[in-house]
Amino acid sequence: MSLYDKFFPPRIITLDNGKRIEEKRSRAPLVIFILLALSAISVKVTGFRLSTIITRGNQFWVILGRMFPPDTAYIGEIWDPLFDTIKMSIIGSLIGALIAVPMAMIASSNIIKSRMVILISRLALSIARTLPTLVTALIATFIWGLGTTAGTVAISIFTFSYVGKLLYEQIETVGMGSFEAMEAMGCSRIRAFWCAIIPQVLPGYLSNSLYCFEGNVRYAAVLGYVGAGGIGIIINTNLGWRDYSRVGMILLVLFITVVVIEYLSFWLRSKLT
Amino acid sequence: MIKFDHVTKIYPNGVKGLDDVSLSINQGEFVGIIGLSGAGKSTLIRAINRMHNIQGGNLNVDGIDVEGLKGKELRKFRRNIGMIFQSFNLVTRTTVIRNVLTSFVPDLPFWRVLLGVYPYEAKIRALESLDKMGILEKAYARVDQLSGGQQQRVALSRTLAQNPKIILADEPVAALDPVTARAVMDDFSRINRDMNITVLINIHHVDLALEYVDRIIGIKAGRIVYDGPASGISNQNLEEIYGGDLAKVGNSAELAKKERA
């Protein structure tokens, strides 16, 4: 009997034939109480004030208003950074998704028997996932210099951690029958994994990778802030000059690009299932 | 020849899967293993290709000490032993022929496996193997579109393509209807006779077992309680294998639960 049941004893239901069964009390009130308490603490800690949002909020509309009409003449200077952004997302997503496969394999407890290997590979995935992409990009600019290489590396690492985690969780839920059959006929575990597990997880893996790519286009747009190339650089510059009509044009182009890519990706993913 | 010499298998939770089992099976025999769920039928079969380890005694297959094998030797040893499962264990999301081709995977260069490019001869051998089981026309269908009986035939084709000396079958007909089950048993019988392949089969259907196999091994709580010709088995023997009274049946059910856990 748990502590909760001691304070809130279960209701005992007696049937007509004298059989009794205990109905445990709902945990929902406790969960709601904890959530409210945590919210209250976070408001206190962060110094959040609703009044600030209301009094300063109209500034948002002021800036947004200055973005109209967008400076259409500026579009000639947008193309290059925009394509840099897309290139970074595509190459980064591709590299990350590919290196996620072997990592996910050695992180799956149904494929690998050694607890140590699983622990280390999952730790590697967790660390890669904990690093904010912006921070990874910043570090990458120190190593590879300013430009798209740093951005590509940052996106690869994020994709690797995200797709890797989803993939190993998926691998752990597949039917192991065909894997067992391959092992019984004398296959090594790697070959059995490739022939028996991959066909089962492939549609999910491709779908997750595409979904991750969609998000990466948006991430890539802000990486320019830390000098990792792409459209973020010109957004940063123009915000600095308070040239809001140019910023408006950049955001408009970015919006259309993201919508098109998300639509394409959605269509591809619907073909996969 | 398969030779068990005082073999004992103990599961990590202390349950004895096999208890001092000694028996020998000659090349080309057709053996049915019967017993309650959890009595040790699967354990017996899976010890032969080392899908399960044993803790005591000696297990020898065609002059090879099975427990001494490791890594590459073990995989090479398994090439000679085919295995058939109750739930077929095929890769259902792909085509029939790709499943049969997996039996060549252990011997192919790794790049071929990665890219899924199989040599032409392998394809021919796979198709011939499907033809032997009478499902050649399904070669390019997806496995999940086939019926249970057809899937078990694909599994048999896969095993035959590997050219085994021994076939281990773990409840191969338990998931099939009576008519299909009979057809699959006919297949086993044919393979055993025509290709002189040793067939060991775990089976719940005593009537089917008695009808098809030459030799019956009855197992109860990890011990062999009957070993002899199928024709020589009596009702008394069956009662001993399956437990005469309810209390014993209950006990075995407990064992089955433990073994699974």
- A200: contact with B, CB 8 A cutoff: yes
Q: To the nearest 10°, the Cα dihedral for A133, A137, A143, A149? A: 110
CB atoms A184 and B105 under 8 Å = no
**Tens of pLDDT, residues B57-77:** 899 999 899 988 988 999 999
B112 and B51 part of one domain: no
CB atoms A180 and B89 under 8 Å = yes
Domain end among B143, B163, B183: B163
Which pLDDT score is estimated for B253?
A: 40
Token duo for residue A230: 């792409």
Q: In what order do the strands lie in the sheet with B30-34?
A: B81-84, B166-170, B198-202, B30-34, B215-220, B223-229
Shortest Cα distance, chain B CAs vs residue A193, angstroms = 11
The domain in which residue B132 lies consists of 86-163
Q: In what order do the strands lie in the sheet with B64-65?
A: B16-25, B2-10, B56-61, B64-65
Q: How confident is the model at residue B256 (pLDDT cuts 50, 70, 90)?
A: very low
- A181: contact with B, CB 8 A cutoff: yes
B143 and B172 part of one domain: no
- The Cβ of residue B196 has, within 10 Å, a number of other Cβ atoms equal to 11
Mean pLDDT for all residues in chain B = 87
Domain end among B129, B163, B197: B163
Instruction: Please say whether the beta carbons of B31 and B215 come within 8 A.
Output: yes
From chain B, the residues in CB contact with A113 under 8 A are: none
**Tens of pLDDT, residues A238-269:** 888 888 899 999 999 989 998 998 899 888 88
Shortest Cα distance, chain A CAs vs residue B175, angstroms = 14
B67 and B173 part of one domain: yes
pLDDT at residue B254 tops 60: no
B74 and B93 part of one domain: no
More confident residue, A21 or A186: A186
pLDDT at residue A159 tops 70: yes
Domain end among B163, B183, B204: B163
Query: Into how many domains does chain B fold?
Result: 2
Instruction: Please say whether the beta carbons of B205 and B53 come within 8 A.
Output: no
Query: Which value, in Å, is the radius of gyration of the alpha carbons in chain A?
Result: 26
Of A177, A194, A200, Cβ closest to residue B89: A177
3-class DSSP state for residue B7? strand
From chain B, the residues in CB contact with A184 under 8 A are: 49, 51, 78, 81, 83, 168
From chain B, the residues in CB contact with A178 under 8 A are: 89-92
Q: How confident is the model at residue A272 (pLDDT cuts 50, 70, 90)?
A: confident
Which pLDDT score is estimated for A265?
A: 87
Q: B247 phi and psi, to 5 degrees? A: -60, -45
B20 and B117 part of one domain: no
- On whether the pTM is more than 0.90, the answer is no
DSSP E strands, chain B: 2-10, 16-25, 30-34, 56-61, 64-65, 81-84, 166-170, 198-202, 215-220, 223-229
CA distances to B103, B131, B141, B180 from B136, rounded to whole Å, are 17, 5, 10, 18
What is the distance between the alpha carbons of residues A225 and A237, in angstroms, rounded to a whole number?
Answer: 9
Instruction: Please say whether the beta carbons of A13 and A28 come within 8 A.
Output: no
Q: How confident is the model at residue B101 (pLDDT cuts 50, 70, 90)?
A: very high
CA angle, B144 as apex, A193 and B200 as ends, to 5°?
A: 70
Q: How confident is the model at residue B258 (pLDDT cuts 50, 70, 90)?
A: very low
What is the identity of the amino acid at B206? V
B5 and B42 part of one domain: yes
What is the distance between the alpha carbons of residues B172 and B156, in angstroms, rounded to a whole number?
Answer: 10
Q: A271 phi and psi, to 5 degrees? A: -75, -25
B115 and B237 part of one domain: no
B147 and B181 part of one domain: no
* Cis check: omega of the bond before A69, within 30 degrees of 0: yes
Instruction: For chain A, give every domain's residue range.
Output: 3-48, 73-272
Report the CATH number of the A73-272 domain. 1.10.3720.10
Q: B118 phi and psi, to 5 degrees? A: -100, 145
pLDDT at residue A110 tops 50: yes
Residues A161-176 as b or e (16 or more Cβ within 10 Å = b): bbbbbbbbebbeebeb
What is the distance between the alpha carbons of residues B139 and B78, in angstroms, rounded to a whole number?
Answer: 25
Mapping DSSP onto H, E and C, the string for chain A reads: CCHHHHHCCCEEEECCCCCEEEECCCCHHHHHHHHHHHHHHHHHHHCCCHHHHHHHHHHHHHHHHHCCCCCHHHHHHHHHHHHHHHHHHHHHHHHHHHHHHHHHHHCCCCCCCCHHHHHHHHHHHHHHHHCCHHHHHHHHHHHHCCCHHHHHHHHHHHHHHHHHHHHHHHHCCCCCHHHHHHHHCCCCHHHHHHHHHHHHHHHHHHHHHHHHHHHHHHHHHHHHHHCCCCCHHHHHHHHHCCCHHHHHHHHHHHHHHHHHHHHHHHHHHHHHC
